[in-house]
Amino acid sequence: MKHSIAEDKQLLTRLLSGNKKASEELVRQFSDPVYKTIQYTLMARNVSFSTADLEDLHNTVFLLLFDNQCKKLKQYEGRNGCSLFSWIRMITVRTVLDHLRKKGLDTITSHKNLIPTDNLSELKDGGSNVLDKIEKQEQIALLNKAVQTLSARDQLFIKLHIKKGLGVNEAAGIMQLSSSSAYTLKHRAIKKLKQTMEAAMKNR
């Protein structure tokens, strides 16, 4: 369904004001077009890919859209008849090309302050608190390095669930996951973050 530029701007206004349903609506509306754009871009360059590759790039694109307080979405102005679909398609193509140029390194991992440590209560486990063992001024840097070791899908979930404060089921809806898959993903991601941070501490 084609939307007018006015409707696109209304959607972004609601999303940027913190409306959770608007975030879900944006992902639902553009999820399939992003998948197709990724596929066409890879095919146009004769690059072989798997379903997992498509999913990873798809999640990388949406992580990029939501990153840095939706910086990329804020840049959309709708000038010269440019629709939000065209804007997101351009970002998608650039993301895929960056991915290919970097031979598998996504464009998200260079961003700083991805997750605020104050919100990561899941990392605190009774008397054994990983974060308490780290100097306070180093917590953010260490945690962000750990987050960067996660897959694009896991990063997107952490971004939505922890930084944006969405419930597990809400994040699952945006990412088109079942509730059980989302809880499994959360458990796996938190476990990996703990392991990565503990390993980093031992190597200090």
Do 96 and 14 sit in the same domain of this protein?
Answer: yes
Last residue of a domain, one of 50, 76, 101: 101
Q: Is the pLDDT of residue 183 over 60?
A: yes
In this predicted structure, what is the pLDDT of residue 204? 55
User: In degrees, to the nearest 5, what angle opens at C-alpha 132 toward C-alphas 127 and 135?
Assistant: 165
Rg of the Cα trace of the chain?
A: 18
**For position 11, what pLDDT does the model report?**
92
The domain boundary, picked from 101, 128, 143, lies at 101
Is 50 exceeded by the pLDDT of residue 80? yes
pLDDT tens digits along 122-153: 554 444 444 444 344 456 666 777 787 888 77
| 91-105: pLDDT as tens digits | 998 899 888 887 553
pLDDT of residue 122: 53
67 and 35 in one domain?
yes
State which residues form the domain around 121: 117-202
Residue 58 binned pLDDT confidence (cut-offs 50, 70, 90): very high
Shared domain check, 148 and 75: no
* Residue 11 falls inside a structural domain: yes
19 and 85 belong to one structural domain: yes
Are 172 and 134 contained in the same domain?
Answer: yes
Q: Does residue 126 lie in a domain region?
A: yes
Residues 81 and 126 in one domain: no
- The domain tally of the chain equals 2
Report how far apart, in Å, the C-alpha atoms of 201 and of each of 65, 131, 135, 146 are. Answer: 32, 10, 10, 11
Q: Would you say how long the chain is, in residues?
A: 204
Looking at residue 65, what is its pLDDT? 92
User: Which residue among 77, 101, 125 closes a domain?
Assistant: 101
Query: Does 107 map to a domain?
Result: no
The reply to whether 85 and 148 lie within a common domain is no
Q: Is the pLDDT of residue 61 over 90?
A: yes
Question: Does residue 72 fall inside a structural domain?
Answer: yes
- Whether residue 109 lies inside any domain: the answer is no
Q: Which whole-number Å values give the CA distances from 43 to 40, 100, 108, 158, 185, in the listed order?
A: 5, 12, 23, 30, 30
Counting residues of the chain whose pLDDT is more than 70, the rounded percentage is: 76
Same domain, 94 and 159: no
pLDDT bracket for residue 121 (50, 70, 90) = low
